[in-house]
Amino acid sequence: MKEKKIALADRSTKIIPIQWDATYFFERAVRSMDRYHYDKALKYFRRAAEYEPENPVNHCNMAGILSEMGNYEESNRILDSIVNELDPEMTECHFYMANNYANMEMYEAAEDSLVRYLEEDAEGQFLEEAEEMMELLHYELERPTKLAFIKAREGFFEHDRARAMLEDGKFAEAVRLLESIVEKNGEFLAARNNLALAYYYMGMFDKAMATIKQVLELESGNLHALCNLAIFYQHAGDKEELAPLVELLCKTVPFHQEHVFKLATTMGILGEHGEAYRHFMRLLKDGALKSDPCLFHYAAVAACNMGRYDESRRLWQQVKKLDPESHVPGYYLEQLERMENGQHAAPASYHYHLPFEEQFRLWEKSTESLPDHMKRDPLVRSSFFWALRHGDRHTKLQVIQALGMIADNEVKDALREFIIEPQEDDYLKRIAIFVLRSIGVHESLHAILEGEETVIEHSRMPSRLPIWEDKWQSVLEAALARMNKHYDLVQQHDLLTLWIEFLSRVYPDVPKFGKVEGWAAALEYLTAKMHRREISYHEVSQRYGVSIATVSKCAKRIDEICGIKEKMRMIFPALADHRE
């Protein structure tokens, strides 16, 4: 017995110590969760967090268990402390908080957390779940979610905004946004395609061509890019490059509705009207777009160009039913009879608006301002910007006046660029400067006039006079204030030019101006005469509140110096001397 005790004493006792650390308690917590023992799991996660208080994962796990147990408020308190104190990069905590708030039916708070998650999380781990929650919140709050940006889809949301800008005719804004998207994500081909179109709409043809070729370098079969390239080749008159591309497009039969529509409109622009008609009719037979007046118009134009006048009449009559307020179907139905008799060419444009010349004709008939539909229509705006770069002198003059009536930031940017173009006509640039001032651009303007770079300050008129007196400005303002609704911008600019010419010729012996209204009335009178408008001394004297003698005296003085009547005789030799 004694020997046995000794033998037992000789054995070395092996005790395995337990490692009490965060990992141990984490593993115990996970095993408890697997068995749905949430109380034990919570206890173990708390112990793990005690061992590693700076580790946000342990705290996040604890918040997750609390949420499973229905303790949403405590869960959110922990999640909030994680993103505000431990690790702001754990953006998924905002998604967990959104879930907790939704379970508490606190939908406004849920929306705030969800939006923060989507705007901060770059990985998009819970993107699909977040989109499902957005639908729930939309339903509960009865309004769209207040979301401006999804970081995990960086560029996609902004791209939608840029497309909306293009549809609204805000081309310069769209260009700035699309350029930033492409700079961040060079493989975002849809953004590159739309950037090319934006350049094209603004008349920046070289940039448009370079951008579309970049798309095709990245994806040679991109249908949108191929269609855009074909249109650009046609614009450039490059028949050699265009022919094989048209042949390829004629063989293309796209499946997706968006691609069918793109190809159809492209073939119409390229003059392949049979192909365009075939694709447009595919879309109409599909039924999804059967209430779209634009689509019926496009099909009507294609049919008309094919000589199928009965079909085009039927289609335009359908447009009239779908869009009774539009001028477009009525205009083309009126022209159709002349087309059938060969007296009028078939429409060259597939755009759903009146021809450019017809737009101007309607505007000129409206007397006072540009019709609202012309201001809003992005295709009309595109026509204006294109004509400002590529139109003839007369068209550019009309466009500058029209842009002055639109008067938004897009217009201001376009006119600022116009006045620094060396090849543009100086008179047109001076009109553009006048328009910029009249629509509220008060900062210094950089222009190229008479071949030299010039800075035009707001406090000075664009003249060579060494000074500009307040009294002279008062005369000008008195005239322009009364002319505003009765004279177009060109005529107002010509009054300004006449006043500067008079002052420049008499300087420094400028007469002492008593009643500024007398000189202002004289300027209006002479400007009206230069533009062959009906006017009398009596009429202007009444409107300016001065005597006929005062207006006559001032007008004769300006005429003596500037030779207005002599210039008019040279321009209109058959015009007899005017007698009051």
Task: Tell me the pLDDT tens digit for each residue of 477-516.
Answer: 888 888 876 777 778 888 888 888 888 888 888 888 778 8
pLDDT at 571 over 50: no
Q: What percent of the chain has pLDDT over 90?
A: 14
pLDDT at 154 over 70: no
pLDDT in tens, 305-351: 898 989 999 998 998 899 888 878 888 888 887 777 776 677 656 76
pLDDT of residue 149: 62
Give yes or no for a contact between 549 and 512, defined as CB atoms under 8 angstroms apart: no
Q: Mean pLDDT throughout 147-161?
A: 70
Give yes or no for a contact between 281 and 261, defined as CB atoms under 8 angstroms apart: no
Task: Please give the helix or strand (H or E) that residue 249 lies within, else none.
Answer: helix 239-250
pLDDT of residue 578: 40
pLDDT of residue 96: 92
pLDDT of residue 369: 57
Torsion of CA 241, 242, 244, 245, to 10 degrees: 110
pTM above 0.75, yes or no: no
**Start-to-end Cα distance in the chain:** 153
pLDDT at 579 over 60: no
pLDDT at 15 over 60: no
Give yes or no for a contact between 92 and 79, defined as CB atoms under 8 angstroms apart: no
pLDDT at 75 over 70: yes
Architecture of the structural domain at 22-153: Alpha Horseshoe (1.25)
The single-letter code of the amino acid at 248 is: L
pLDDT in tens, 365-403: 554 555 555 555 665 676 677 778 777 777 787 778 777
Q: Give domain limits for the chain.
A: 22-153, 356-456, 470-571
**Phi, psi dihedrals of residue 116, rounded to the nearest 5°:** -65, -40
Mean pLDDT highest for which of 54-58, 169-173, 271-275?
A: 271-275
At residue 572 the predicted structure's pLDDT band, cuts being 50, 70 and 90, is very low
pLDDT of residue 229: 93
pLDDT of residue 289: 66
Token representation of residue 192 = 């590159």
The single-letter code of the amino acid at 205 is: F
Task: Please give the helix or strand (H or E) that residue 319 lies within, else none.
Answer: helix 309-322
Token representation of residue 227 = 């269609």
pLDDT at 428 over 60: yes
Residue predicted with more confidence, 38 or 97: 97
What's the mean per-residue pLDDT of the chain?
79
Indicate the burial class of 3 (C-beta count within 10 angstroms; 0-12, 13-18, 19 or more): exposed
CATH 1.20.58.760 fits 470-571, yes or no: no
Q: Mean pLDDT throughout 267-286?
A: 89
Name the one residue in this structure whose structure tokens are 């002492």.
Answer: 512
**DSSP notation for 445-495:** EEEEETTEEEEE-TTS-SSS-S---HHHHHHHHHHHHHHTTTS-HHHHHHH
**Spatial distance between the Cα atoms of 442 and 59, rounded to a whole number of angstroms:** 58
pLDDT of residue 1: 43
Q: What percent of the chain has pLDDT over 70?
A: 82
Closest by Cα among 151, 95, 146 to 123: 151
Token representation of residue 381 = 């705006």
**Phi, psi dihedrals of residue 249, rounded to the nearest 5°:** -65, -35
pLDDT of residue 355: 53
pLDDT at 574 over 50: no
pLDDT in tens, 222-264: 899 999 999 889 888 889 999 999 999 988 888 778 888 889 9
Longest dimension (CA), the chain: 154
pLDDT at 212 over 90: yes
Compute CA 318 distance to the chain's CA centroid, rounded to the nearest angstrom: 31
pLDDT of residue 573: 42
The DSSP secondary-structure symbol of 271 reads T
Q: How many helices (H) and strands (E) does the chain have?
A: 31, 2
pLDDT at 539 over 70: yes
Token representation of residue 459 = 């406090």
Query: Which region among 432-436, 455-459, 553-557 has the lowest average model confidence (pLDDT)?
Result: 455-459
- Residue 188's contacts (CB-CB under 8 Å, 6 or more residues apart) are 155, 159, 181, 182
